[in-house]
Amino acid sequence: MTDAAEPAILVRGLTKRYGSLTAVDGLELQVAAGETLALLGPNGAGKTTTVECCEGYRVPDAGTVRVLGLDPRRDARRLRPRVGLMLQEGGVYPMARPQEVLRLFAAFHADPLDPDELLERVGLSDTRRTRFRDLSGGQKQRLSLALALVGRPEVVFLDEPTAGLDPAARRRTWEHIGELRAAGVTVVLTTHLLDEAEQLADRVAIMDRGQLVALGTPDELTHGQRARLSFTAQPDLDLADLAAAVGARVEQPRPGRYVVHAANDPQLVARLTAWLASHDVELGELQAGKRSLEEVFLRLTAEEDRT
């Protein structure tokens, strides 16, 4: 068992280059035992490289990675039985059937879950004898998830676990990941879906171009330093007139999306809606205080774009 004080995953100054491209650049990250961390970022942010360094597939050019206190490459033999993983590529024999693949992976572990019960749990009982290549995208992903779980792992790495799934299948996968969290398993998942990170993770690490640009609980990330109010309406309102009416600075960061820089109080909302009413402008969304994770994400990754 891991010491409660010792992080399940420790990443120190991780740097990984592919030729002239620096995929991960001095990354610092800790994941506590039992925590679910989402690595969020656009394509090419270095999420997969980070996870694959933790899984032992990549050798870091600099820095150290420890999983359950072990080196993913040097201590692979001791670490692998305790880790479950899900790759972006399915990684399953196209001609093999879910039941036999799950039984095979179970045979690699000393005390695996019952393969048939696990198939039932992820909803693959009816397709346990269907060849992998004939499964739907959602069924393939669920089998990959089951393969990650069959060895009763203490740490699970899920690389885009819901990529290509329809909303219903995505929700089912979220439920399985939620169960892992409830069972005290440490989970690291990569995603470029903001709602997925918000829904599943205790903490979200936003990566861009190999670097960590933000780290915190979804609440911490979405609570801005400045009090503010944002709303959507038709584009190109008269900002000066509106600002005078509400008594605060107003910006339009994107066409049709407005931010009022003032403490959110009922009078402010009343003045805003009064102005909208007198100008016959229909209100879209109104959000007070809390920024959406999407705003945080776009702002952070856009800042990077300008450099």
Partner 1 sequence: MNERDTPMLRAVLAQAAMELRLLVRSGESLLVTFGIPVGILVFFSVVEVLPTGERRAVDFLVPGVLALSVAATGLVAVAIQTAFERKYGVLKRLGGTPLPRAGFLAAKALAVAAVLAVQVALVTVLALSMLDWQPQGGGLAAPLAVLLGTLATTALGLLMAGTLRAEATLALSNAAFLVLLVISGVTFDAGTLPDALAAVGRALPVGALGEALRVAFDGGGFARGPFVALVVWSVASVAVTTRTFRWEP
Residue ranges that bind partner 1, judged by CB under 8 A: 55-57, 76-78, 80-83, 85, 87, 89-96, 100-101, 103-105, 107-111, 147, 151
Nearer residue to partner 1 within complex by CB, 104 or 286? 104
Cα gap 193→41, rounded to integer Å:
9
Which two three-digit tokens encode residue 24?
């991960």
Find the shortest distance in angstroms from Cβ 142 to partner 1.
Answer: 15
- For residue 47, the minimal CB distance to partner 1 (Å) is 17
Distance between CA 119 and CA 176 in Å, rounded?
Answer: 12
Q: What is the DSSP letter of 73?
A: T
Please state the closest distance from residue 97 (CB atom) to partner 1, in A.
10
Measure the CA–CA gap between 257 and 284, rounded to whole angstroms.
9
CB-nearer residue toward partner 1: 108 or 235: 108
Q: How far is the CB of 44 from partner 1 (least distance, A)?
A: 18
Whether residue 150 contacts residue 102, with contact meaning beta carbons closer than 8 Å, is answered with yes
Residue 5 vs 110, nearer CB to partner 1:
110
CA angle 240, 302, 35 (to 5 degrees): 120
Residue 81 CB, nearest distance to partner 1 (Å)? 5
Q: Which amino acid is located at 118 in the chain?
A: L
Nearest to 36 by CA among 213, 207, 177, 192: 177
DSSP code per residue over 53-99: HHHTSS--SEEEEEETTB-TTTTHHHHGGGEEEE-SS--S-TTS-HH
Residue 146 burial class via C-beta count within 10 angstroms: exposed 0-12, middle 13-18, buried 19 and up: buried
Cβ atoms 79, 72 nearer than 8 A: yes
Q: To the nearest whole angstrom, how small is the minimum distance from the Cβ of residue 172 to partner 1?
A: 22
Measured from the CB atom, the residue of 109 and 299 that comes closer to partner 1 is 109
Nearest 5°: phi and psi at 197? -60, -45
Spatial distance between the Cα atoms of 189 and 154, rounded to a whole number of angstroms: 14
Please say which residue, 80 or 176, places its beta carbon nearer to partner 1. 80
Contact 267, 185 (CB under 8 A): no
Q: Which is nearer to partner 1, 96 or 288 (CB)?
A: 96
Closest separation in Å from C-beta 51 to partner 1? 11
Among residues 143 and 268, whose Cβ is nearest to partner 1? 143
